[in-house]
Chain A
Amino acid sequence: MKGVYAVFRKELSLYFVSPIAYVAVGAFLFLAGIFFQGILSEANEYAMRAAMQSMQFGQPFEIDIPGEVMRGFFGVTGTMLLFIVPMLTMGAYAEERRRGTMELLMTSPITDLEIVLGKYLGAVTLFLIMLLPTAIQMAIMFRASDPMPPWRLLLSGYIGVILLGGSLLALGQFFSSLTESQIVAGIWTFLAFLVLWVLDFIIRGTGSVIGAVAQYASILKHMNDFTRGVVDSSNLIYYASLIALGLFLTLRSIDSMRWRRA
């Protein structure tokens, strides 16, 4: 496992000097800020209207604003990840192959599995760092809310986002291992995510078997429960298998590099 750490460290130190990582993280945080603000003011407006109505009709009203904001925010974050993650992963293997440093890794006394895990954990760590500042927005909202919204909702929401991100990172790194061009890798990753996303639309209004299959495969669908505060084991298994699949395919892909004509 020392090999995993060596690769992990190398990955992180490269992220911190990589302009792409800064652009991706910056874009994510900028958009997250805008969306959060948008969702919050929309919820406010809705609450004002509801309050006015309740005064007119003399009925008490109840709206869970923090809950609505969190649901909206985690939902939009999931969608943003489809665009941001390809930027984070496209270079993972493609750049190493182009520079010839893949040969350095593959002739070091570490196993291919250690390379795959080290690189994956590096990407996950960067992703968590990227996610961290959104907690500030959440903290502000929690402070302003009376009564405090349930922690459970916040926690499950983040678990959902992290699992979704983790799955996308594993798949993205696999696509990166297929080519020497990070642009090509980025495009393939993005197209693949787009298909997973579009599945969401296909399933609407279909009751057939295809609809059911597409519903299960849709990557965002499985996050919905998390944003409602429900941690369902079927969703956990879905994301865990997606991560395992991505890592396994990457491992096979690296192995095939050894057999292909270089």
Chain B
Amino acid sequence: MIEVESLTKQYGAVRAVDEISFRVDKGEILGFLGPNGAGKTTTMRILTGFLPATGGTARVAGFDVFEKSLEVRKRIGYLPESPPIYPEMSVSGYLDAVARLKQVPADKRKSRVDAAMEMARVSDKREELIKRLSRGYKQRVGLAQALVHDPEVIILDEPTVGLDPKQIIEVRHLIKGLAGNHTIILSTHILPEVSMTCDRVVIINKGKIVANMPVNPTAQERGSEMVQVEIKPASGGAAAAKALLERVAGVKHVAIEAPDGAGRVKAKVECEPGRDLRNRIAADVVSQGHELYELHASRVSLEDIFLRVTTQEAPATTPADTPATGVEG
């Protein structure tokens, strides 16, 4: 539905977006994650036809965003970072005006406005002036605006920024409810947002894509399972611990650290994909008379990747080969 190829945007000497490529399939929710100033808004503005790109191509529903800008705009609902509202208008008056701007045919206009208000759950304030609404309601009116012409693609720039926790949850529910029929890109700099609402995540930093992966990968996609153990071998020190762990069926690799002062050894055990060997490891360690201090599954989380890519120079990560799991909370 959306295909972006080596898209570049140069502002004078600054390269805001640097040769990014990604695609979004129909019905998917893509999270665009990155720190402020990473190039998220610029990318979205190029997709919506607001800004022209310096290089590369982007296609929405098969139409080039630059060559066929009007066709693309017909198919996109866009909520910029601050909702583009006219405070003096009533909710329904505003949505009617937007429906006209979006070229909704006259006979469908009323039903589309009603449907958008219903979806964004602002129907109860339809005659209210927008300036009298709370921040959360204004944001929902902004969402209704993006839905009013029933677009195939919805692009949301930081849809939950500035909302209180209750409103954030409401907006997330709303977005999740739109998936399936619509293809959605939403940007955020808040990590949990991605894991809660999105199917895939593209992490962008300094204009470059540093990761592109599913939010809840299958065991296959995730690759090897990692288990962290801390044991105090009865005898033989680190070497004995390593040998012991390597004997457990299903273990592929053991990385071991030198024992600390108390004689405990920490080890990272890489297991075969899709296998949880914690119970086997525990049984073997204890039955052979060693002491078990710690045992937990460790996965490379979204959070690890996000922190890694945003706190240091970005290591190039090829798409989809990075292990990941959902991060809760």
Q: How far is the CA of A17 from the CA of B93 in the complex (A)?
A: 12
Task: Tell me whether A103 and B102 are in contact in the complex, defined as CB-CB below 8 angstroms, given that A14-B86, A109-B70, A109-B74 are known contacts.
Answer: no
Question: B residues within 8 A CB of A99?
Answer: 84-87
Is the CB of A259 closer than 8 A to any CB of chain B?
yes
B48-56, B185-193, B264-272: which one contacts chain A? B48-56
**A101 touches which of B74, B85, B93, B100 (Cβ 8 Å):** B85
Number of residues on chain B facing chain A (CB within 8 A): 32
Q: Which of A87-136 contact B (CB under 8 A)?
A: 99-101, 103-111
Is the CB of A52 closer than 8 A to any CB of chain B?
no
Task: Tell me whether A259 and B88 are in contact in the complex, defined as CB-CB below 8 angstroms, given that A10-B97, A109-B74 are known contacts.
Answer: no
Q: Which of B46-95 contact A (CB under 8 A)?
A: 48-52, 70-71, 73-74, 76, 78, 80-89, 93
Is the CB of A7 closer than 8 A to any CB of chain B?
yes
Question: A residues within 8 A CB of B49?
Answer: 106-107
Is the CB of A144 closer than 8 A to any CB of chain B?
no
Q: How far is the CA of A143 from the CA of B88 in the complex (A)?
A: 42
Are B101 and A258 interface neighbours, CB within 8 A?
Answer: no
Are A6 and B85 interface neighbours, CB within 8 A?
Answer: no
Task: Tell me whether A14 and B88 are in contact in the complex, defined as CB-CB below 8 angstroms, given that A107-B48, A109-B70 are known contacts.
Answer: yes
Is the CB of A33 closer than 8 A to any CB of chain B?
no
Q: SS class of chain A's interface: helix, strand, loop or mixed?
A: helix
Is the CB of B103 closer than 8 A to any CB of chain A?
yes
Question: A residues within 8 A CB of B85?
Answer: 99, 101
Are B80 and A103 interface neighbours, CB within 8 A?
Answer: yes
Q: How far is the CA of A10 from the CA of B99 in the complex (A)?
A: 11
Are A108 and B101 interface neighbours, CB within 8 A?
Answer: yes
Task: Tell me whether A104 and B84 are in contact in the complex, defined as CB-CB below 8 angstroms, given that A3-B103, A9-B97, A10-B100 are known contacts.
Answer: yes
* A203 vs chain B, min Cβ distance (A): 43
Question: A residues within 8 A CB of B11?
Answer: 261
Residue of B whose beta carbon sits closest to that of A118: B101
Is the CB of A234 closer than 8 A to any CB of chain B?
no
What are the interface flags for A64-102 relative to B under an 8 Å C-beta threshold, 1 for contact and 0 otherwise?
Answer: 000000000000000000000000000000000001110
Q: How far is the CA of A238 from the CA of B49 in the complex (A)?
A: 36
Question: B residues within 8 A CB of A108?
Answer: 73, 98, 101-103
Q: How far is the CA of A168 from the CA of B71 in the complex (A)?
A: 35
Residue of B whose beta carbon sits closest to that of A95: B86
* A105 vs chain B, min Cβ distance (A): 7
Q: How far is the CA of A13 from the CA of B100 in the complex (A)?
A: 13
Q: How far is the CA of A110 from the CA of B98 in the complex (A)?
A: 12
Q: How far is the CA of A105 from the CA of B145 in the complex (A)?
A: 12
Is the CB of A204 closer than 8 A to any CB of chain B?
no
What are the interface flags for B100-131 relative to A under an 8 Å C-beta threshold, 1 for contact and 0 otherwise?
Answer: 11110000000000000000000000000000
Task: Tell me whether A110 and B84 are in contact in the complex, defined as CB-CB below 8 angstroms, given that A258-B50, A258-B52, A259-B52 are known contacts.
Answer: no
Is the CB of B45 closer than 8 A to any CB of chain A?
yes
Are B98 and A104 interface neighbours, CB within 8 A?
Answer: yes
Are B84 and A3 interface neighbours, CB within 8 A?
Answer: no
* A112 vs chain B, min Cβ distance (A): 10
Question: A residues within 8 A CB of B45?
Answer: 103, 262
* B258 vs chain A, min Cβ distance (A): 53
Question: B residues within 8 A CB of A262?
Answer: 45, 51
Residue of B whose beta carbon sits closest to that of A19: B88
Q: How far is the CA of A9 from the CA of B106 in the complex (A)?
A: 14
* B156 vs chain A, min Cβ distance (A): 13
Are A106 and B88 interface neighbours, CB within 8 A?
Answer: no
Are A109 and B52 interface neighbours, CB within 8 A?
Answer: no
Binding site for A on B (CB under 8 A): 11-12, 45, 48-52, 70-71, 73-74, 76, 78, 80-89, 93, 97-98, 100-103, 145
13 contacts between A and B (CB under 8 A): A2-B103, A3-B103, A99-B85, A99-B86, A101-B85, A103-B50, A104-B101, A107-B49, A107-B78, A109-B71, A109-B73, A258-B50, A259-B52
